[in-house]
Amino acid sequence: MPELALRTLFAVVAAPLALWIVLVGGAPLAALLAIVCALGAWEFYRIARAAGHNPLSDAGIALAGLAPLAIHASYLGVFTVPPAAAALVVLLLLGASIWLRGVEGRPIAAVATTLLGVAYTAGMLGFGYAIRYHDVVRGYDDVGAHHLGAGWLALRVPPGGALLVFPLVITWASDIGAYFVGRTIGGRKLIPWVSPGKTVSGAVGGLVASMIVSWAYARWVLVPVASLGFTPWGALLFGALISVAAQVGDLFESLIKRESGVKDSSRIIPGHGGILDRFDSLIFVLPVAYLLLGWLPLPVFR
């Protein structure tokens, strides 16, 4: 099947399912994040090995996959992971490296790369769950949910789901704006030694598109659906900063792939490459979005 057809077929199936999971939240969202984080960690270690490193891949993949589930369990009150658990994980990896890597196996680099893989995937993407249940919408998912459409097409949109979709939509707008403006105008390359195809005009196009979409989404979705709204300048600033984070995330993944000499993080997604190829921007966007939601002027209309 041609690559374009594969990309289209996968998007038609995956996009509605992902949207449903984002809106539902809870266990389905935690499970999706666990799968994405575990596969993303596997790809990260694959890239690291191509660059000459030798991480403790099995341990890192397991930790990355368990992290979103632990976040979900903590939210439910089943158990809380104490801060000291992070120190215990580091100590266990350091101890394991004595036998699994030894002197010749470059244990410092092995443990550091393993921990970086967990932080880069689960540590960042886990903020998607935190945004879904951010303090500004906590407790309003049931009483504040809106329904779009009618009959069997009706879609329940809780405030937390609408809030999580916010940075996702801005990221897509940034990617689309950068692609079309860059292809149309071209011109000076942004950072050619990292990503030869990206241009300054494309970066500006992505920035402008993100600001417009951020303002529109805040005005016509967050207010009526989630009873939340930025000030106009806050929405524009949010869109601009999310676009910057998305573009830096894309560039960073290009950087590590260039260091390792690989084209795609993997071929696990039909027609789309790997998990990191699709989530590289969100790895930077989600933690930035979470922080901005607590910093920027966000009046609550209830």
Nearest CA to 256 out of 34, 55, 14 is that of 55
The pLDDT value given to residue 47: 95
Give the pLDDT confidence of 138-163 residue by residue, as tens digits.
666 555 555 555 444 456 778 899 99
Contact (Cβ atoms closer than 8 angstroms) between residue 50 and residue 262: yes
The Cα 13–Cα 32 span in angstroms is 15
The pLDDT value given to residue 273: 78
Give the pLDDT confidence of 73-111 residue by residue, as tens digits.
998 888 777 878 889 999 999 999 999 998 888 999 999
Determine the average pLDDT of the residues in 201-205: 94
Q: Is the dihedral of CA 194, 198, 201, 205 positive or negative?
A: negative
Give the pLDDT confidence of 7-26 residue by residue, as tens digits.
667 667 778 889 899 989 99
Does pLDDT of 250 surpass 80?
yes
Give the pLDDT confidence of 269-279 residue by residue, as tens digits.
776 678 999 99
Contact (Cβ atoms closer than 8 angstroms) between residue 142 and residue 301: no
Please state, rounded to an integer, the average pLDDT across all residues of the chain: 87
The pLDDT value given to residue 14: 79
Contact (Cβ atoms closer than 8 angstroms) between residue 131 and residue 163: yes
**Domain locations in the chain?**
3-295
| Residue 34: partners with Cβ closer than 8 Å, 6 or more residues away | 65, 66, 67, 68, 69
